[in-house]
Amino acid sequence: MTRLETAGRTRSTLLVMLAMLLTVPAFTGGDSFARPRSLATPEILTAPAVSDMVPVLPPAVCSVQAVDVPDDSGGLISVTWEFSKDAPAAEFVTGFEILRYAPGETPTSVGDVPPADREFDDDSAEDGTTYQYIVRSVSLSGFTDSEPSGPAVASAQWFAGARFPVLVVTLFFCVAVLFFVQRARGGAELFIRKIPGLEAVDDAVGRATEMGRPVLFVPGIETVSEVGTLAALTILGHVARRVANHGTRLLVPVADPIVMTTAQEIVRTAYAEVGQLDAYDPGSVAYLTYDQFGYTAGVDGIMVRERPEAVFLLGTFYAESLILAETGHAIGAIQIAGTKETSQLPFFVAACDYTLIGEELFAASSYLSREPVMLGSLKGQDLTKMAIVYVMVFAFVVGTVGALFFPGGNSFFSRVFDALYSWFG
């Protein structure tokens, strides 16, 4: 290559490098892959508008009302207000702050509520003090206070008007119980529907006596504080008197030490009442274990070994109900069962001869003893329940007639139904 050609190439290379240096400012931020700016239309930078930098305050709420909460024990004032979501800048509201002040005092905050709420209950108010409230709309830019509410004074009421129907039903129940108790004490014969399970107690004890086999009484697996256990112990006293009269052996396995002591005293008293105290065996009432299925296994063992002719399963039972009832059925015993656990009643109905359903277990003491106070209480309860059912049926008929024949809702039937529903609802 000649010296002239070498000089020409060097000059060309320098021209190319100079051209590249002149075009660098046309690229954004020096990025070689950015699009070059147009030299004919240069970019114009605009400053933000002045209005965008001014904080926007939230709108104030309106119609602030403060009233004492009715039918309460005092110290409670309800504050309500209205707030339009269509107001300017309403979407910026982050919540409401409730301010309270008494005459001559500075407003102080008593609570905050979310932006969706329109009510606040002030439970820190003092009875007899006049308060006024201000609802403050809060946003990130600031807050706006409402006009103060009218004066409100918290006070306690002696009677809750909303519970007036409960008072009427309670008075009706008390009058009914006292009426029937007086009738029972006067010698009147009060009718009580026959309960087959309790009517069969004497037959079951008599059958066990004829067969020369013992009577097994299982009072459930719960403690003596359970109402089902108390009802079972009441029936145990009646069964113990029948057993003492017939001279039959009685077996009472229990799952609680306190229940054992109570059952021993009940059986001992029953034997003494019929003049058979010498025949009483303290070992007839025995404590097995508090473990649920350990107790179940122990009772099943007694059934298989002693083969009682009559089995009473009365009290509180759970998963062991079918195991006990099935074992009693397998040995051919006559079984009378009852429990307050409705989920276990189907097992007793399927495997036992007689089952006390629902309140029959709790009515057993009145049914068996025929004591005037107990009989009067039972009859009073039945009359009250029957009256409530009649009122419900009447309200249903009135509401149905009003809806079918007077669909407008302004008929006499509709108004009566609404009154009954608000009264008892």
213 and 80 in one domain? no
Q: Which residue has the higher pLDDT, 7 or 102?
A: 102
Q: Which residues of 264-297 are buried (b: 16+ CB within 10 A; e: fewer)?
A: bebbbebbeeeebeeebeeebbebbbeeeeebbe
Task: Transcribe 46-87 into DSSP letters.
Answer: -PPPGGGGS--PPPPPEEEEEEEPSSSSSS-EEEEEE--TTS
Q: Per the domain annotation, does 84 fall within a domain?
A: yes
Structural domain total, the chain: 2
pLDDT value of position 240: 93
Whole-model pTM: value is: 0.61
Q: What is the mean pLDDT of residues 177-191?
A: 86
Is 286 within a domain?
Answer: yes
Mark whether 214 and 111 lie in a shared domain. no
Q: Which two tokens stand for residue 201?
A: 């107690």
What is the sign, positive or negative, of the torsion defined by CA atoms of 257, 263, 266, 271? negative
Which two three-digit tokens encode residue 16?
Answer: 């190319």
Domain annotation covers residue 404: no
Clarify whether residues 338 and 225 are in a common domain: yes
More confident residue, 39 or 181: 181
Supply the mean pLDDT for the chain: 82
Q: Quote the pLDDT of residue 26.
A: 44
Residue 288, in any domain of the structure: yes
Specify whether 286 is located in the same domain as 341: yes
- In a 13 Å sphere around the CA of 268, the CA atoms on its Cβ side amount to 10
> 200 and 137 in one domain?
no
The answer to whether residue 7 is domain-embedded is no
At 185 the pLDDT is: 86
Q: Are residues 228 and 331 in the same domain?
A: yes
88 has pLDDT over 90: no
* Domain span including residue 138: 62-153
Considering only 8-22, 73-87, 93-107, which range has the smallest mean pLDDT?
A: 8-22
Contacts for 251 with CB less than 8 Å, ≥ 6 apart? 214, 215, 216, 217, 284, 286, 302, 306, 308
CATH number at residue 127: 2.60.40.10
pLDDT digits (tens, 9 = 90+) for 364-423: 877 777 778 888 888 888 899 899 898 888 877 777 776 666 665 555 666 666 666 666
